[in-house]
Structure 1
C-alpha cells in the first residue's frame, strides 16, 4: 500500500508519498522515534490538550477533597484542608526549606483551595489557552504553561511566601506570552492584542491589592516567565513548531505526571 505524504517531524517539511527517507534532512520514516513524535504531536493537539489540563485540575481537586474527608481536616465549604494540600504538593518556603519538596513547584499549579478558586482559574485557562495555542502552537503553549507556572512559584519562593497553590501562576504565564506576542508583532492586530492583555495585567494587579490571600508574587513571576518563554521559543508567524518544540512539551508532560503521581503516592502512604 502506498504511503501517504506526511510532514517530517524533524524538519517539518513535506516529503513524497514514496520516500522512505526525508529528502530534506535524511530522517528515516521507519524510525520508531518518527512514529512516536507523530503520535505525540496529535495527542498534544488543540482543544484536546486544553481539555486535558482542565480535567487534570478537576481530578486533582477531587483527590484533595477526598483526602480531606478521609483525614477529617476540613478546609471550609467545598475546599480541601491544609494537610491534604501539603501532601498533594503545595509549594512555598515551608514545603521546600523544611522538607526539600522542590517538585512542588510543578504540582502546586494543579491544586486549588476551594470551588470558586478552581472555577475562576479554569475559566481563565479555557479563554486564554486556545488563543496562545493559535499564536504559538499547542506544544509551545503547554511548555509556556508549565515552565511559566514553575517560574511564578520560584519568584514566590524567593519573595518568602510560605505556602501557596493554584493554577493562576501558569495562567499568568500564558498572559505574559500574549503580552510579548502583541508587543513583538506590532501592527494593528499586535497592538490590539497588547492593549487587551495589558488590561488583564492591570486588573490582576488591582485584584491582588483588594483581596487578601492573593499571591501577587506568583502572578508577577508567571507573567515574567511567560514573556521570557515566549521570546525564547518564538511564535508561529516567525517559525512553525518543530521536533524540539514537541519534545519539550513531552518533557513538560512527563515532568507534570511525575510530580502529581509522586504526590498522590506520598499522600496514600502517609494515610
Structure 2
C-alpha cells in the first residue's frame, strides 16, 4: 500500500507544484530511489520518499549532499510510526530533516529544520481525493479475519441449534431449545463437575435466540476489529478465548444456572481496550479512557437490571481480558 501511495504523492507533487523527478540508482544498479527536487527561494531541495519496508534499503544508495535533503517516511498508521523510530535511529535519520506521513489519517508531522513550504505542499497533496481512495483500500491481510471467523462459527452453531430446536425439539427456529443447548455444550455445572470441561469453551458459541445472537455479533464486530488491529491476530485470539474461559469459570463458581453466549468474551475485549487506553493514554487521551469506562459500566448496569443475564460471566470475562492484555504488548510497544 505504501508504494502505491508514494507514487500517487509523487505524481501530485510534480504536477501541482513543479517538482522534478530525479534518478538515483543503487550501487548494484538494480533499483531506483524515489526522489524529486525543486528550488525554493534560491535554495535547492531534494525530497527522498521512503516507507517502513524500504528503510533498511537506503544503505545501498549513495545519496548526494548537493541539495537540502528532506526524508519523507510513509507509515500505515500511528502504531507503525512508533515502530519505525528504531529503524530511523539505525539509519541515522532522526537527526536529519524528516517528515513523517501517517497514511490512514493523513497526518503530516515534521521536525524543526524542515522547510515549511515543503510541508504545506505535501499536506495539500495528501488531502487529494485520488490519494484518499487509494490509500484507504484495505488489503486482504489487514481485514479482521479472526473476528470474521469467530462470528462465522457463532452463526453456524446457531443454525445448527435452530435446526435441532425446530426439527427434533418441535420448537421455534428463533428461540433455542434448552435441551438442544445442553446437548451442544452449554455451561451446566453438574456436567462440568463430571468431567465435561469442554463446556467452558463450547458455551461461548451458543446463543438462546436470534436476538441474543444478533446483539452479541453486532457488539463483537463493533469492537473486535479494533482490538485485532491494536494487538495483532494471535494476541487478539488469546485475549478472546482467555476472556471467554474466565467468564465460564466465574459463572461455574458463582452461578448454578445454565449459561451460554459470547458476551463474556466480548467483555474481555472491552477490558483489553481499557488496558490499551491506559497504557497509551499519551495518544488516546483521558476522554477515550472515560468513554470505555462508561461503556463497561453501562453494560454491567444493563446486565444487573435485566433478567436471565449471567453477570458473573461478564465480570469474569472483563477481568480475564484485562489480565491477559496487561501481560501482552500491543503493536506500538513491540
TM, length-normalised to structure 1: 0.68
- Residue of structure 1 equivalent to 2:175: 79
- Residue of structure 1 equivalent to 2:225: 130
| Aligned with 1:48 (options 124, 139, 145) | 145
- Residue of structure 2 equivalent to 1:67: 164
Residue 86 to residue 181, structure 1, CA distance change in 2 (3 Å): same
Q: Contact 2:182/2:188 (CA < 8 Å) preserved in 1? A: no
Q: Contact 2:275/2:326 (CA < 8 Å) preserved in 1? A: yes
Q: Contact 2:250/2:313 (CA < 8 Å) preserved in 1? A: yes
**Distance (Å, rounded) in 2 between the aligned partners of 1:92 and 1:183:** 36
- 1:123-170 Cα offsets, whole Å, 9 max, x none, are 000010111012111221111111110011111111133310000011
- Residue of structure 2 equivalent to 1:167: 262
**Distance (Å, rounded) in 2 between the aligned partners of 1:176 and 1:170:** 10
| Aligned with 1:177 (options 247, 272, 280) | 272
TM, length-normalised to structure 2: 0.56
Q: Higher relative CO (CA 8 A, sep ≥ 6), structure 1 or 2?
A: 1
**Distance (Å, rounded) in 2 between the aligned partners of 1:15 and 1:101:** 53
Q: Contact 2:255/2:312 (CA < 8 Å) preserved in 1? A: no
Q: Contact 1:43/1:49 (CA < 8 Å) preserved in 2? A: no
The answer for unaligned runs of 5 or more in structure 1 is: 1-13, 17-41, 240-271
**Distance (Å, rounded) in 1 between the aligned partners of 2:207 and 2:317:** 17
Pair member with larger Rg? 2
Write out aligned runs for 1:104-253 (5 A).
104-239=199-334
Q: What count of residue pairs does the alignment treat as equivalent? A: 199
Between Structure 1 and Structure 2, which shows a larger proportion of strand residues? Answer: 2
- 1:66-124 Cα offsets, whole Å, 9 max, x none, are 111232252x5611101110011101413312x42111111111100011100000000
Q: Contact 1:80/1:114 (CA < 8 Å) preserved in 2? A: yes
Between Structure 1 and Structure 2, which shows a larger proportion of helix residues? Answer: 1
For 2:333, what is the secondary structure of its paired residue?
Answer: coil
- The CA deviation at 1:210 is 1.6
For 1:237, what is the secondary structure of its paired residue?
Answer: helix
